[in-house]
Amino acid sequence: MAALMRSVTSTVKAARRHSPSSVEELELELLLEALYQCHGYDFRGYDHALVARKVQALRLRLGLATISALQSRVLHDDETYNTLLRALYVSPALMFDDPLEVSMLRLSLGVSLHGAALPRVWLADCASPQQAWTLAILLEQEQLAPRTEIYATVASDTMLADAQHASLPMARLDELQANYVRSGGVGKLVDYFDVDADGLHAALKPELASRITWAQYNLVTDASFNEFQMILGQRTLPDFGLALRKRVLQLFDDSLAPFGMLALDRPLDDHDPLSRHYKPIMAGQPWYKRVA
């Protein structure tokens, strides 16, 4: 009997003992919970595998042994907290880095914006200042810039400050000229920028920058804040888990004007009730016009 009890006890203890992967899962859950409880940013509904990869990459980059060590740093050091937030955020975009996206924008801008008196475009979880600059330049080329407002939202006040004061080294602007040409751009990209006196940095021309309204906004928790003629969400949606994705798609639906344009990362599910509100503007592309 004693031998049996020892065997049962040993089995129970073994069942309670976490494997290394289970420990890391628990650490990740605690890190995300701490980020939510202490700072209000909720990544718990994001794609779990993607979040885990980003957290582990940051842990290694910072030279930390465990996710728990990263959590301690996040809770007690603002710089580490902001570094984690940037790491978990949507991957940064470069100007004109996706020729297909630029082509779809050129096609969609006139269709969705020309009929509105004061059209608004929402860059939800804007991937970088350069994503907003790309849109501003395209609007200028379509002669829509003077009356169109771009709303570019980001997750934190730190990201907001970075975006509002962003500029480019001239060497990088020269490199981005190749992106511009590949996406169908004509002329020189530098024509849309002011170069500082020492010739080392460039900033978007004030008349274009003034059409971009930057704001801190949380897609996970905040409600609809305006009505838009176009919503661009294709960069951020891949990071979301199924439940959060459904929530954000409903938010976009609540925010899109009749006959407005919605850009997604993949086609709407035919079984999704929202799909009846939309019609694709081109076969095979997840860009939609609202029809109901």
pLDDT digits (tens, 9 = 90+) for 138-181: 999 999 999 999 999 999 999 999 999 999 999 898 889 999 99
- Based on the fold, state whether residues 159 and 256 are members of the same structural domain: yes
Q: Please choose, from the candidates 214, 130, 123, the residue with its C-alpha nearest in 3D space to the C-alpha of residue 168.
A: 130
- Based on the fold, state whether residues 121 and 212 are members of the same structural domain: yes
User: CA dist 255 to 135, 214, 259, 260, 274, Å?
Assistant: 19, 17, 12, 10, 13
Structural domain harbouring 7: 2-88
Take residue 262 and report the two structure tokens written for it. Answer: 């919605």
Each residue's pLDDT tens digit, 224-262: 999 999 999 999 999 999 999 999 999 999 999 999 999
What pLDDT is stored for residue 82 in this prediction?
Answer: 94
- Based on the fold, state whether residues 79 and 136 are members of the same structural domain: no
- What's the pTM? 0.89
Flag whether 62 is in a domain. Answer: yes
What pLDDT is stored for residue 21 in this prediction?
Answer: 58
- Based on the fold, state whether residues 244 and 269 are members of the same structural domain: yes
Each residue's pLDDT tens digit, 23-77: 999 999 999 999 999 988 999 999 999 999 999 999 999 999 999 999 999 999 9
Percent of the chain as helix, strand, coil, to the nearest 5: 50, 15, 30
On the question of pLDDT at 95 being above 90, the answer is yes
Three-point CA angle 24, 75, 218, nearest 5°: 90
